[in-house]
Amino acid sequence: MPGNFDVKYVAHLARIALTPAEEEQFGAQLSNILGYIEKLNQIDVSQIEPTAHAVPLVNVFRADEVRPSLSNEEALANAPAKANGLFIVPKIVE
Amino acid sequence: MSYEAVIGLETHVQLKTKSKMWCGCANEFGAPPNTRVCPVCLGLPGVLPVANEEALRLTALTGLLLNCTLPSHAKFDRKNYFYPDMPKNYQITQYDKPSAINGHIDFEFGGGVARVRITRAHLEEDVGKNIHFDRTSGVDFNRAGVPLLEIVSEPEITGADMAYEYLNALKDVLIHGGVSDADMEKGMVRCDVNVSVRPVGTEALGKKIEIKNMNSFSGVRRALEYEIPRQIAVLEKGGQLTQETRRWDDAGGITETMRSKEMAHDYRYFPEPDLMPFEPTEAWLEEIRRRVVELPLAKKQRLMRQYQLPAADAQTFVWDRALGDYFEALARKAKNPKSAANWIINNLRAQLAAAGGTLAGLKFPPEYILDIVDLVESRKISSSAAQLVFAEMFSGGEAPAVIVENKGLAQVSDAGAIEAYCDQAIAAHPGPVADYKSGKAAALNFLKGQVMKLSKGKANPNLAGEILERKLK
């Protein structure tokens, strides 16, 4: 329901830090968007097959063939931190 | 009140392809970190994944091997979460339209054959590997994007041992089917365990506990041996269980809380816009059907029936497929397949292991094993001489008949010659002779052994026995 749009929850899922003012602003805007999309629910789709794509295309494959990879230097070129061929990230704790 | 466990397993298996699921990087274990990566599997902006057809074939093949239905329409979805091992921040998987559904696997358990139903098998991508240091973590994306099949069982496994046997049976099927190497050491098989307990006789499921990321089958068994009594103890003390994810601490031998349901993930699944749906055609499926092989359990049962093999021998030929193929090729020409199986398992396999050789590198044709069986059964050589013949044939590749001739191993069935050996044995061992005469039948075996020794293993043992008996009457 548009009115119940939980901006804090969605911001957390997307790992975006919002200020209270932004929460107010984006929460209202996203609620409006959802309200607009809500109109789609008024259409009778009982006779329509669900689809994920507009293009009626299936079975797009590639052959199982190995192609050259990037070098380790290229792969790590944009990494903010690297060591021993690895991407270095803040310590992962679960 | 007594309780029963309800267990479901989610088994992740890396598929045996040359390249990754969405890109041409090699699907290869053990390469230096981040050297089997490209913009696609590193999740760089603007790239487009393209499905590896062989991975879809292996998925369908697994479905057939697990007696699944292969839906006419399957699709891929994005499972969104943030974790450093997943550079795109979503994993491509099959959420509500998987490639295989409603199957089952049969396996030997508790003296009979158990059946566990398979809910679904869906294709997804593996993630990178994290390496933890003191103050930071490192990520290697070589594994990211490797095709990964998740096989989900119905919650109808009832105990730790049954879970263990189910996993082993599944692994056997996957290896036999050529779907996966299923090498646990290389992390090619991982398992999530869902387990709850309920009072015996009740229908409602208890609170589900998930144990994540098990990388050994014995670990799964030990974790369940710990977790099931733990849950029962909580309930028996009047306590409540909460739905949660637990971690197995292999060194400590315990499970511990990782996160409770309140912190459960919301993966915001949605259809993967970069990939088109998959709708296998009849011709495509027919090609897969041709790749279906006999399942391990069916093969074991057939070997026992067709060749009168004992269960252990049949199992050996199932586990060692090359040896089994070698046996079956030979068994079709054998008058006595069971004897051929004995030679293959007790001698050939042992000598190959000792010499570090392979079946392909053998110096003699398989039919020579049948020659040895014939030589023994027609009593041309004794069974101890046959051992020598085999060893000689294995190392030099000569025909058994030639070895028997060259080494003078032909069994002596000439009564006159054997009589002479019997006389010598009787004269040399008055003690056992007296024992035998006073009623100790076993003493005859000793004397027979002496005759065999004197004849250098060539005397026909039955004849030697008869002659000794006659002489000692």
Report pLDDT digits (tens) over B142-163.
999 999 999 999 999 999 999 9
B408 confidence band (pLDDT: 50, 70, 90): confident
Inter-chain CB proximity A52 and B52 less than 8 Å: no
Question: Residue B34: which of B138, B167, B158, B120 has the closest Cα?
Answer: B138
Q: What is the pTM of this model?
A: 0.80
Residues of A in contact with B42 (CB under 8 A): 70, 75
A67 contact B CB<8A = yes
Range of the domain at B267: 3-289
- Residue B370 falls inside a structural domain: no
CA distance A60 to chain B (A): 6
CB contact under 8 A, B276 and A89: no
In the predicted model, is pLDDT for residue B260 greater than 50? Answer: yes
- In sequence order, the β-bridge partners of residue B79 are B91
pLDDT tens digits for range A26-55: 999 999 998 888 888 888 988 888 777 888
pLDDT tens, residue by residue, A78-87: 999 999 999 9
| pLDDT value for B142 | 98
Mean pLDDT, range B7-11, rounded to an integer: 98
Burial tier of B360 (Cβ tally within 10 Å: 0-12, 13-18, 19+)? exposed
Taking the Cβ of residue A50 and every Cβ of chain B, the question of whether any pair is shorter than 8 Å is answered with no
User: B237-251: per-residue pLDDT in tens?
Assistant: 999 998 999 999 989
Phi and psi, residue B234, nearest 5°: -60, -45
pLDDT of A4 > 70? The answer is: no
Q: Cβ of B136 and A61 within 8 Å?
A: no
Distance CA B297, CA B317 (A): 11
Q: How many CB pairs under 8 A join A and B?
A: 125
> What band does A75 get if pLDDT is binned at 50, 70 and 90?
very high
Q: How far is B37 from chain A (nearest CA, A)?
A: 5
- Gap between the Cα atoms of B242 and B244, Å rounded: 6
Number of independent structural domains in chain B: 2
Residues 6 or more apart from A38 whose CB is under 8 A from it? A2
| Residue A1 falls inside a structural domain | no
Is A86 a domain residue? no
- Residue finishing a domain among B266, B289, B312: B289
Domain limit, last residue, from B241, B259, B289: B289
- Residue A74 located in a structural domain: no
Single-letter amino acid, residue B177: G
Whether residue B279 and residue A59 make contact (CB cut-off 8 A), yes or no, is yes
Reported as a single tens digit per residue, the pLDDT across B291-305 is 999 999 999 999 999
Picking from A15, A66, A70, the nearest residue to B26 by CB comes out as: A66
Query: Closest to A61 (Cβ–Cβ): which among B17, B39, B53?
Result: B53
pLDDT band for position B264 (cuts 50, 70, 90): low
For residue A57, list chain B residues with Cβ-Cβ distance below 8 A: 276
Q: Would you say residue A22 lies in a domain?
A: yes
Domain boundary, last residue among B257, B289, B321: B289
> Within this chain, do residues B106 and B253 fall inside the same structural domain, yes or no?
yes
In a domain, A66, yes or no: no
C-alpha span between B404 and B410 (Å, rounded): 6
Of the candidates B19, B138, B271, the beta carbon closest to that of A87 is on B138
**Residue numbers in A near B38 (CB within 8 A):** 67, 69-70
Look at strands B77-80 and A82-83 and give their pairing: unpaired
Classified as helix, coil or strand, A7 is helix
Question: Distance from B267 to chain A by nearest Cα, in Å?
Answer: 9
- Give the domain range for residue A33: 7-41
* Token digits of residue B256: 């511990």
d(CA B401, CA B146): 54
Residues B111 and B114: their CA atoms lie apart, in Å, by 9
Confidence of residue B82 (pLDDT cuts 50, 70, 90): confident
**Across the interface, do A89 and B271 touch by the CB < 8 Å criterion?**
no
CB pair distance less than 8 Å for B19 and A64: yes
What is the structure's pLDDT at B464? 86
Asked if the model's pLDDT at residue B4 lies above 60, the reply is yes
Does B388 reside within a domain?
A: no
pLDDT of res. B357: 86
- Please determine, for residue A25, whether its predicted confidence score (pLDDT) is greater than 90: yes
Contact across the interface for A60 and B33, Cβ inside 8 Å: no
The residue assigned the tokens 């790992």 is A15
Contact A64 B17 (CB under 8 A): yes
Does B394 reside within a domain?
Answer: no
What pLDDT is recorded for position A1? 41
Residue B361 lies in a domain: no
pLDDT per residue as tens digits for the range B119-128: 999 999 999 9
Q: Is residue A85 part of a domain?
A: no
Pick the residue of B23, B34, B258, B267 with the most A CBs within 10 A to test the interface with A by mutation.
B34
Treating both helix axes as pointing N-terminal to C-terminal, what angle do B217-236 and B160-176 enclose, rounded to 10 degrees? Answer: 150
Q: Are residues B282 and B421 in the same domain?
A: no
Chain A residues with CB under 8 Å of B141 CB are 75, 87
Query: Average pLDDT, stretch B438-448?
Result: 87
Number of domains, chain A = 1
pLDDT for residue A51: 77
CA distances from B303 to B85, B290, B313, B407 (A): 46, 22, 9, 36
CA dist., res. B52 & res. B21, Å (int): 5
Q: Do B136 and A91 touch (CB under 8 A)?
A: yes
In a domain, B377, yes or no: no
Question: Which residues from B are below 8 Å from A72, CB to CB?
Answer: 32-35
Domain assignment of residue B372, yes or no: no
So what's the pLDDT on residue A14? 84
